[in-house]
Structure 1
Amino acid sequence: MNPITRREFTKKSALAMGFLPFATFGQSLLKPKLDTKGLSVHVFSKHLQFLSPQDAAEKAAEIGFQGLDLTVRPKGHVLPEDVTQTLPRAIEDIKKGGSSCSMITTAITDASNKTDINIIKTAANQGVAYYRSNWFKYRDQHAMEADLAFYQQKIKALSLLNSQHGIVGCYQNHAGHSIGASIWEIKKILESANSKYFGTQYDIRHATVEGGLSWENGLKLIQSSIKTIVLKDFKWGQKNGVWHPVNVPIGEGMVDFKTYFSMLKAYNINVPVSLHLEYDLGGAEKGKTSISIDKKNVYKAMKKDLDTVQRLWEEA
């Protein structure tokens, strides 16, 4: 038999899924024979903001992370207004710590904003490949469709700016009321963008919160736009009689990682990962610069989640 190309395989897989809507990705029929090498996992530096960038890099490397997803935003490791001076120093320190920084998390929203331009230019010059933007909010007294069209143009402008500097922007899906809780909203705002330079940072935790049993449809819809992914877990719990999502360690919640990772493999998606730890870690989960528990407990949690992620990926 003649070998098929990766693109042909993806098309054939998509056709197979269309004809078998009730099949699960655990079945061998849909499980691709792809390289199952481990994921490239970066730790979100928000959870290490009680350390300097160099110390955070040293610890990340020691634990086994590929690098840092560095916070370049208000209250982050690097403040936006100081980015031209402090980001190069931070990345140099990260390298001294034996790690790397190929992705950053920002509050970027506007290609005409001087601070946002400086972040994009400086990050690109320092070899950063991806940034996560801020979220957009629906505006009062505007139709939702009008707002989606408005922000579509914002994303288009950012993608053009990114193309000039060789960096990729990502919009994260996030549960709640901002644009992007629904994957369909992200699909819409990305329609006019240069898809090579702006896509999505797919977050399975938030997709499961908002999508329930339909998150697989959302993943199928957005899969070609995924540039980076976020990993974390949750379960539903009650507080004062009100149900809400409760963050938990990877593998202890409601995220179906077996199906999710199998789908990523079927779509041939193995992109940089940002690992978030948003369960109780003495304030580290909230990006506190001073935490109430022994730092060793934070590092232990990071190692446990990282090991679990890699095991679940290999098993999928």
Structure 2
Amino acid sequence: MLSLEELNSLDGVSYFEENISDEDVKKTEKILQTLQVNIGKKCNLACKHCHVQAGPNRTELMSKDIMKDCLVVFKEQGFSILDITGGAPEMNPELMWFIEEATKIAKKVIVRTNLTILKEEEYKHLPEFYAKHKVELVCSLPYYTAKDTNRQRGEGVFEDCIDVLQKLNEIGYGRNPELILNMVYNPGGAFLPAPQASLEEQYKIKLKNQFDIDFNQLFTITNNPIGRFGGFLKRSNNLERYMDRLCSAFNPSALKGMMCRTQLSVSWDGSLYDCDFNQAVDLKVEGENSISMLKGKELSQRKIKFGNHCYACTAGAGSSCGGTTA
């Protein structure tokens, strides 16, 4: 496994924070919009690019008590978006309760799904449940062809994703303006994604013409050199080359749009991080670093913790859970 210490000490790679001259950019915004909650690392897939190293053998799942703490802090601090992720969040048995309670207080509830989980008998009811509660779905589909998707995520994954997307379209997702269906593209290797707008156009044309599938937006996310992908880079002797690519593509215009500036990330055990990538390398926020510690307290502006993995969020057009940032 590749550690953050190794990334931060690579020869020829300047420490990321040295690129930031604006002290305000090193801090969060005064008012945060998104509480992103990872409710477990258990997943039915073990994707090659997964930075949290989720998979079928993981057992970590957020408890209902921690979810309650998240909802209390969400309301107290005036967050507007609850972004639920995993693992496969569907594999947490408290997901439906969490969504039902969250939709009472949040302007928007997002669930990040790998799609394939919704084909399994235990979870086939969830698309209708999502639609009833107007949950915004962010779906991982690494490419619009079977060959490229299955190489990254496993045999048969693309076909299952298409079946689920067609089902989601049938109940209104991607077609009813109240039921938002967004896609996520991750590169299949150690390279930067193509421009988001042009790739979105390709996805829409290919998926519509071949499968009659509609969706709202495509988000391109640069593979972060940590977790399972970081391990691949290290084993294949591609780490230095990939980091050089990220550093060479560093874009100062992407700094202000980094997702760590407008969100707070909560892990399955209630620990707090500046973002999902910091969560993957266990780089906790400064100050109060568990969700239970924030109850009844004012969330103050804080200094963000950086590492050389942050180059992935500022290369090219920038990268975040909501796509490009510059």
Q: Which range, TM-score by smaller chain?
A: 0.3 to 0.5
Report which of the two has the higher share of strand.
1
Report which of the two has the higher share of helix.
1
TM-score for the superposition, normalised by structure 2: 0.44
TM-score for the superposition, normalised by structure 1: 0.45
Bigger relative contact order, structure 1 or 2 (CA pairs below 8 A, ≥6 apart):
2
